[in-house]
Amino acid sequence: MDFNLFMNDIVDAARKDITEAGYEELRTPEEVDAALNREGTTLVMVNSTCGCAGGVARPAAANAIHFDKRPDHLVTVFAGQDREATEKARTYFEGYPPSSPSFAFLKDGKIVTMLERHDIEGHSAMEVISKLQEIFDKHCEEV
């Protein structure tokens, strides 16, 4: 099997997982600027092909949003795939080093907090869901 074809299948499945969960995929720096400068609260899921993204982060992203409080906007960038968009998104995460998978929570275009890879890797999806819902509870309005 051709490695690139195999990786394309992995990437396509990872993209589909998060967009089917209701996240808007941002693939260019311009899309990132437009999305992250919107008023309100925004959750950015920095996607990747690693095991903790597929086994923990994406399931947590899909399930955490079924809560009384949730962000106004759900978006995703794909580290290692849409490099320019990911680099642009990371300019909004001031004070946090690059990390994937990760979740950035912004309000009116400003970083509030992040769940970095070390907050995801080695934890269960349920633990990450709880961490996300604590953020939502503190910073989001009821839907």
The Cα 5–Cα 83 span in angstroms is: 19
- Name the active-site residue from 35, 44, 52, 62: 52
- Name the active-site residue from 14, 26, 43, 50: 50
Beta bridge partners of 104: 44, 114
Are the C-beta atoms of residues 80 and 48 closer than 8 Å to each other? yes
The Cα 42–Cα 20 span in angstroms is: 18
The Cα 31–Cα 49 span in angstroms is: 22
**CA 26, 28, 29: angle at the middle one, nearest 5?**
105
- Whether 140 is a known active-site residue: answer no
Residues belonging to the active site = 50, 52
